[in-house]
Amino acid sequence: MKTLKKLQPGDRVAILSPSFAAPGMFPEIYELGLKRLRDIFELEPVEYPTTRQLGASAKDRARDLIAAFEDPEIKAVIATIGGDDQVTYIKHLPKEPFSNNPKPFFGYSDNSHFANFLWQCGVPSFYGGSIMTQYAMQGEMDGFTVDYLKKALFDSGEIELTSSDTFNEIGLDWSDISSLEKRREYQSNDGWYWDGEGDTQGISWGGCLESIDEMLRHGVDISTLEAFESIILLTETSEEIPSTDYVHRVFRALGERGILERIQGVLVGRPKSWEFDKPLSEAQRKAYKREQREVILKTIRQYNAEIPVVQNMDFGHTDPQIPMPYGGSYRIDVSRKTISAFF
């Protein structure tokens, strides 16, 4: 993987909507995110033509991605939010504008497709840290998230990851402007769930499980089986709150493709178990998380009996969030129960 340059206060960063142009629907949330980027991180956002353009064509969104990476004045690219259609066009992007101009990209969910594309170009990125969700958190940004975003943006070297004490998964209505002053409800976090033996290390690849599923279904270029022998899988599930059976089937597909037997470890983000159209009770949420942990571990063990599997980590569709290095190196120490990543 290529080495990315770290940012400095005052740097210009591109703000793009490679998937859903949520800023066009919720401008007040978007503007709050931009304000936080300026005030807390001292970075200057640069908006592109399709950032607020609802229904922008794949061609136009691709144009903005290429323009942002080719502009030497742009030092990083941050997605506004995810979506559901990157699989239709990311695979058609030319590689040269990105491999020749490596710079940090931040995004998750549907942006797994672009992160995977950059991975194929030898360009690492960060899985997390979107404008509409992390930067525009109502009330105030989460301090845990701010700390790790600063590490990703400005720091380099090996950093030992930590687990947050509390977390949030119950959202506030973006269409209610008064919610901008409210603070989300947090609850105690269980910490990491460990299983497996032996210390290991590797380079990360993966993303949102639903996006990984689409990569497999649509024949998108991913790592070779040989390269998977050096990979630590990062994965988490989205606000769609997929069924336990679905999660099992996608992991089984990874097993049947020969991937699970080769990888060096699996890091799983805390699953989201509440959404406006699925307002599960606290008991139902706990049961959902437990059942997902169990089926993930059971399925992995059918193909690989020993690799470390660490679940309930702070990345993905809940908060707080670590922007996980994607294409970065990790060390997993099972005996000490520590995970370090190179930022």
Residue type, 221: D
* Sign of the Cα pseudo-torsion (290, 293, 294, 295, in order): positive
For the segment(s) 160-342, the CATH number from 3.40.50.10860, 3.40.50.740, 3.50.30.60, 3.20.20.140 is 3.50.30.60
Fold for the domain defined by 12-136: Rossmann fold (3.40.50)
Average pLDDT over the chain, rounded to whole? 98
pTM score: 0.98
78 forms beta bridges with: 15, 106
Say how far apart CA 331 and CA 264 lie, in whole Å: 10
Query: CA of 209: how far to CAs of 44, 120, 216, 311, in Å?
Result: 32, 18, 11, 14
Instruction: Give tens-digit pLDDT for 205-227.
Output: 999 999 999 999 999 999 999 99
Give the H/E segment covering residue 208.
strand 200-208
How would you write the pLDDT of the chain (343 residues) with one tens digit per residue? Answer: 999 999 999 999 999 999 999 999 999 999 999 999 999 999 999 999 999 999 999 999 999 999 999 999 999 999 999 999 999 999 999 999 999 999 999 999 999 999 999 999 999 999 999 999 999 999 999 999 999 999 999 999 999 999 999 999 999 999 999 999 999 999 999 999 999 999 999 999 999 999 999 999 999 999 999 999 999 999 999 999 999 999 999 999 999 999 999 999 999 999 999 999 999 999 999 999 999 999 999 999 999 999 999 999 999 999 999 999 999 999 999 999 999 999 9
Q: Using CB atoms within 10 A of its CB, is residue 278 exposed (0-12), middle (13-18) or buried (19+)?
A: middle
Q: Using CB atoms within 10 A of its CB, is residue 174 exposed (0-12), middle (13-18) or buried (19+)?
A: middle
Say how far apart CA 152 and CA 129 lie, in whole Å: 10
Helix H, strand E, coil C: the string for 222-290 is CCCHHHHCCEEEEEECCCCCCCHHHHHHHHHHHHHCCCCCCCCEEEEECCCCCECCECCCHHHHHHHHH
3-state DSSP assignment of residue 175: coil
Instruction: Give tens-digit pLDDT for 83-138.
Output: 999 999 999 999 999 999 999 999 999 999 999 999 999 999 999 999 999 999 99
233 forms beta bridges with: 205, 266
Domain spans in the chain, listed from the N-terminal domain onward: 12-136, 160-342
